[in-house]
């Protein structure tokens, strides 16, 4: 495993980070099996684990905590907070006030809860899971700075933060003497290259580490989803629309042919692409089974030639997205029509 420096923190991490979202009720409910998967990853040289408090309502953190007993000092451990721990994407479960978001009040409580579940007194990286439009960035950075100074957190970062907000955060940190964001965790894959336009250049400009999630495009780049075929997989039961997007499936068919030409599985092509960008530190892999982990580990030494990268550029041009991931962040003004429309009376008066 050839380790890389996480931004300018001086911390060395593996180019594959083990994502723990699939450990627990949402993915693999067998704690012992999940722990074996974590240990297999560590034995293979992966030293970076990323989880979050909302994954299986805290169960993921509990599993990771069990797995790291006796091995904590050798692991760069990251977790996230922002959503309610009992997050329900359907909206059926009511959100309890002040038990989510990026406020000082919630982040301090959320981290303490995470530390308890993880069985540790600090995390190496504490991240804001998604932007919180209700909280001023100075409020968030101030709380995170205090957590760093208290020794509970070594570095701070974000996930899915737009480039403009990343620049704003660094400006606020400099002006107010607060701790700077050291990492950003955006979605990135062959099918979703939009971050190449602004996010990755900003990350590089400010010396941040980029930990990209969904390098397999939400499962599409596993090769198990084909055009014209009925899919019955673990992910398909969640009803993700990106798994049946015709434009994305067309690109997958071309990429399958390219992987065959390159003499490698599609998964290896996809992960190797994600970590080939100079602005990317690590790609987060999220295996649910030992078989899936072993498949990904088998491609750890794969390096794509310029010829293959050029052909990928032909299929999906740099800086473009083919469709979008259902899990990707959408700003409030995109989700809520009233935020991008003047009141009817004002429009009539104009």
8 contacts: CB under 8 Å, gap ≥ 6: 182, 207, 208
Which one of the listed residues 55, 188, 206, 225 is annotated catalytic? 55
Residue pair 251/217 in contact (Cβ under 8 Å)? The answer is no
Q: Is 55 a catalytic residue?
A: yes
CA-to-CA distance for 349 and 290, rounded, in angstroms? 63
Three-state SS for the chain is CCCEECCCCCCEECCEEEECCCECCCCECCHHHHHHHHHHHHHCCCCEEECCCCHHHHHHHHHHHHHCCCCHHHCEEEEEECCCCCCCCCCCCCCCCCCCCCCHHHHHHHHHHHHHHHCCCCEEEEEECCCCCCCCHHHHHHHHHHHHHCCCEEEEEEECCCHHHHHHHHHHHHHHCCCCEEEEECECCCCECHHHCCHHHHHHHCCCEEEEECCCHHHHHHCCCCCCCCCCCCHHHHCCHHHCCHHHHHHHHHHHHHHHHHCCCHHHHHHHHHCCCCCCCEEEECCCCHHHHHHHHCCCCCCCCHHHHHHHHHHCCCCCECCCCCCCCCCHHHHCHHHHCCCHHHHHHC
Mutual angle of helices 137-149 and 163-176, in 10-degree steps: 60
> Could you give the residue numbers annotated as active site?
55
């Amino acid at each position: 495993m050839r380790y890389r420096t996480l931004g300018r923190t001086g911390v060395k991490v593996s180019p594959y980070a083990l994502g723990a979202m699939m450990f627990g009720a949402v993915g693999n409910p067998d704690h012992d099996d999940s722990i074996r998967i974590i240990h297999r990853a560590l034995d293979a040289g992966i030293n970076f684990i990323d989880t979050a408090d909302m994954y299986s309502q805290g169960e993921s953190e509990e599993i990771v905590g069990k797995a790291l007993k006796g091995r904590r000092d050798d692991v760069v451990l990251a977790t996230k907070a922002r959503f309610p721990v009992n997050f329900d994407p359907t909206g059926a479960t009511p959100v309890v006030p002040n038990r989510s978001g990026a406020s000082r009040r919630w982040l301090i409580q959320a981290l303490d809860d995470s530390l308890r579940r993880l069985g540790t007194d600090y995390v190496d990286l504490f991240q804001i899971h998604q932007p919180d439009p209700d909280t001023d960035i100075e409020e968030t950075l101030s709380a995170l700075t205090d957590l760093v100074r208290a020794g509970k957190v070594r570095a701070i970062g974000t996930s899915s933060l737009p480039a403009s907000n990343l620049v704003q955060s660094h400006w606020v940190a400099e002006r107010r003497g607060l701790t700077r964001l050291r990492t950003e965790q955006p979605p990135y894959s062959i099918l979703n290259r939009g971050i190449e336009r602004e996010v990755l250049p900003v990350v590089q400009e400010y010396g941040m580490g980029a930990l990209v999630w969904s390098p397999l495009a939400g499962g599409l780049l596993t090769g198990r989803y084909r055009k014209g075929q009925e899919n019955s997989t673990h992910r398909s039961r969640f009803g993700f629309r990106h798994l049946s997007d015709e434009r994305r499936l067309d690109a997958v068919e071309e990429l399958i042919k390219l992987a065959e030409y390159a003499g490698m599985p599609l998964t290896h092509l996809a992960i190797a692409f994600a970590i080939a960008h100079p602005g990317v530190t690590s790609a987060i892999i999220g295996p649910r089974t030992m078989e899936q982990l072993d498949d990904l580990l088998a491609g750890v030494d794969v390096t794509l030639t310029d010829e293959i990268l050029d052909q990928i550029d032909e299929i999906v041009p740099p800086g473009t997205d083919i469709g979008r991931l259902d899990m990707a962040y959408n700003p409030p003004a995109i989700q809520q029509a009233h935020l991008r429309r003047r009141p009817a009376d004002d429009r009539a008066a104009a």
